[in-house]
Amino acid sequence: MSVLWAALAIVFVICLLNLVLTIAVIRRLREHTELLNRGGGQHPGQEEITLPAGSRVGEFSAVTVDDRTLTREDLRPGMLVAFFSPRCPTCEEEKPAFIRYASGLPGGPDQVIAVLLGTPEELAGLREELGEVARIVIEPDVDGAMSTAFALRGYPAFCLMGQDGVLQVTGFRVDVLPDSVAL
């Protein structure tokens, strides 16, 4: 009989340990989801979502969906570069403000680049929505040429260009961008 009680005690301890570990994993997943919903874990005072303002964008060569090659030399002052993913709730929240902002830029879609991260199939709707206000570049993930050049660490990300490929303003919300852009 004592062997039975010992076995039951061991099973009870294992079940209790399993429950504690499961609760810890659930808490961690909630924290992780919360960070992702805030734009890739971006918090004030922490690491930038891209290179910080004042940094020069790295060299890159990317091709738009209409077969135009883009390099760092194509980044003009006042140009807006944005990064979106279809799997990002914050991207969906910021999309209307981005479209309004990009629509008001002088120069139209030639002054805006939207880098979409994902497969062409999952990006079809986003590509159509943003194609009216921006030139579109599709990259499979954050290891793409433009994502690497901008040191992308999360999305959405909005970058306003200054002189010589230097970032003037960066952030994960459209409201960090100035109301008017001096060209």
What's the pLDDT tens digit per position in 32-90? Answer: 665 555 444 444 444 588 999 999 999 999 999 999 999 999 999 999 999 999 888 99
pTM, to two decimals? 0.73
Look at residues 174, 158, 145, 140 and name the one whose alpha carbon lies nearest to residue 48.
Answer: 158
Show Cβ contacts of residue 144 under 8 Å, excluding neighbours closer than 6 positions: 62, 115, 117, 137
Tell me phi and psi for residue 37, to 5 degrees: -70, -15
In this structure, which amino acid lies at residue 170?
A: T
Using DSSP's 3-state secondary structure scheme, residue 165 falls into helix
pLDDT, mean over the chain: 86
